[in-house]
Amino acid sequence: MNWNQRKESKNNKLNNVKRAGKQIDTEKIVDVLEQVLVPGDRVILEGDNQKQAHFLARALGMVDVHRVHDLSMVIPSIEDPNQIELFKRGIASSVDFSFAGPQSRALVELINQEEITINNIHTYIELYGRLFVDLIPDVALITAAQADADGNLYLAQNTEETPVLVEATAVKSGIVIAQVNEIVERVPRIDIPAEQVDLIVRVPEAEKPFPLFTRDPQKITEDQIMAGMLAIKGIYGKYQVKTLNHGIGYNTAAIELLLPTFGERLGLKGKVATNWVNNPTPTLIPAIEAGWVRSIYCFGGEAGMEKYIQQRSDVFAVDHYRNLKSNRVYAQIAGQYAIDMFVGATLQVDTDGNASTITADRLSGFGGAPNMGSDPHGRRHLTNSYQQIDGSYKQGRKIVVQLTTSRRWNHEPVFVDQLDAWKLKNRLAVDPIMIYSEDTTHIVSENGIANLYQTDSPTERRQAIAAIAGDTAVGQKCSEKERQVLRERGIVQTPQDLGIHRREATRDLLAAKSIDELVKISHGLYQPVKN
């Protein structure tokens, strides 16, 4: 019995690759991929939120499809059109992924044309875990900012999940190929040790991250401001939540810009929203500068925030050069077990309270929301805010908030009788639900707060959701009499119940009303990058 087949296969492939040390010629990358890949290989193609291996994705799309085909891809975040082309050409046939942003519509088209098999849509740490168990990779194509001659890699602001992708490949004798912007004598810090890297290729043109988490305050609506005010007073203040995560979007951006104004008026500074697991969103700058935020551990970086983070090392996790040290794996673990509240937005909520960002024409995946937006039964430490939510047989429960306006920007209702996602169910291996109803403690809209954890039955839960669903078809299912009963029991709280007047919910309440004002508040350290 030969117990070293993977190692021997790897060595045989690498022996055929012409290289200087670990460096291969940029012009030969397609030839190299054809030498190290065989049909059916499981290939990690790095796609993080901001960190995409564009060069390697393009090169993979240029291989001879007669030599390399039917690859089983692992792409954590599908963001690059070159990734889509792999399936159109038949180079790849299936994928395991977590999130798809701009390519969410293209994925649905591939499904409809039967050009792709979606193996599974994972949460992030679920996908990372499976790489060590039953999704063992044969090849990993990753991206880094710099490499030295030995092959040590520096990942700059966006460490993201690269270390775990490399580790899972290297420990099972897979081949790791890294594209780098430049090769230097000495990297500023070693994020990936040379012993885990087999080949490096310098890209013809340096690839830079693009702004992904920046939300322009000018686009925040009065309905989003109203929903934010309700959340701050009715949830943040009520439960005195200090540890939290915000999803990405204008709904949560509104809250971040309301903390130094509306939150200050309520006397909540130092009592809520002090310790974060979050992306470094520019809309947090006013709260940081006003002394609200004590710490932020980041999933990844954000273009334009580099200098600001360097000068706020007490708040952000940084290295000895004061550069951001992010890590998606650590942040996901912290987001699941170390925070008391998750606040996210969604595209649709059904009458039972299930939420999904998958629609009939968009397969956006789940990302990390199902991890952070669920009550971790393995948690054992207690906090005051955690204990305030009745956990029946437990001593508490994580607060999971879905924050949304009743209608989206295109006037489509968020609250619906049935999720559009179910139209794709026969093409997917799992239910297309991002946050399950039973994990959700609160839903907040501009019309009020539905305290779902206080409901006694599925029927009452549906009534509470309908009560804040506004002028949608779902909202019309709750009579004024039913709404009043729910208000009297504290299950539903309207702006009136919380002493908030709609005339207050104006843009004047935002701590910054434009990108320029964010720059000014940051003392010029935040330097926006145009996408």
Please write down the HEC assignment for all residues of 407-418: ECCCCCECEECC
Q: How far apart are CA 389 and CA 439, in angstroms?
A: 12
Is the distance from CB of 254 to CB of 350 less than 8 angstroms? no
Which CATH architecture best describes the domain 29-202? 3-Layer(aba) Sandwich (3.40)
Q: How far apart are CA 121 and CA 249, in angstroms?
A: 22
H or E segment to which residue 488 belongs: helix 480-488
Segment-wise mean pLDDT, segments of 10 residues, the chain, 531 residues: 95 94 97 98 91 96 98 96 97 96 92 94 96 98 96 92 97 98 96 98 90 94 98 98 96 98 98 97 98 97 96 96 94 96 95 91 90 90 88 77 94 94 79 92 98 95 98 95 96 98 96 98 96 69
pLDDT score recorded for residue 78: 95
Q: What sign has the CA pseudo-torsion 407, 408, 410, 412? A: negative
Closest CA to 121 of 444, 379, 363, 333: 363
Is the distance from CB of 121 to CB of 428 less than 8 angstroms? yes
- Name the CA radius of gyration of the chain, rounded: 24
pLDDT score recorded for residue 285: 98
Alpha-carbon distances, residue 244 vs 106, 124, 237, 346, 385 (angstroms): 33, 18, 13, 18, 11
The DSSP symbol for 502 reads: G
pLDDT score recorded for residue 27: 97
Q: How far apart are CA 94 and CA 87, in angstroms?
A: 8
pLDDT score recorded for residue 530: 83
* Domain extents in the chain: 29-202, 217-520
Q: Judge if pTM exceeds 0.85.
A: yes
Angle at 226 between CA 221 and CA 230, to 5 degrees: 150
Q: Which CATH superfamily is domain 217-520 in?
A: Glutaconate Coenzyme A-transferase (3.40.1080.10)
Collapsed DSSP state (helix, strand, coil) of residue 387: helix
Residue 202: what residue type? Answer: R
Q: How far apart are CA 99 and CA 119, in angstroms?
A: 13
Look at strands 415-416 and 442-445 and give their pairing: unpaired
Alpha-carbon distances, residue 12 vs 35, 70, 137, 151, 482 (angstroms): 10, 22, 17, 20, 72
For 174-317, strand residue ranges (E) read 175-183, 199-202, 243-246, 275-277, 295-297
pLDDT score recorded for residue 409: 87
Residue 120: what residue type? Answer: N
Is the distance from CB of 361 to CB of 108 less than 8 angstroms? yes
Q: How far apart are CA 299 and CA 162, in angstroms?
A: 12
Q: Which pairs with CB-CB distance under 8 Å and at least 24 residues apart come from 30-38?
A: 30/59, 30/62, 30/63, 32/177, 32/199, 32/201, 33/59, 33/60, 33/63, 33/68, 33/177, 34/63, 34/64, 34/67, 34/68, 36/139, 36/175, 36/177, 37/63, 37/68, 37/71, 37/138, 37/139, 38/68
Asked whether the domain spanning 217-520 has the same topology as the one spanning 29-202, the reply is yes
pLDDT score recorded for residue 466: 98
pLDDT score recorded for residue 423: 83
Give the residues across from 45 on adjacent strands. 141
pLDDT score recorded for residue 394: 66
Q: How far apart are CA 193 and CA 154, in angstroms?
A: 9
Per-position DSSP letters for 259-289, written without gaps between them: IIIIIHHTT-TTTSS-EEE----GGGHHHHH
pLDDT score recorded for residue 392: 54
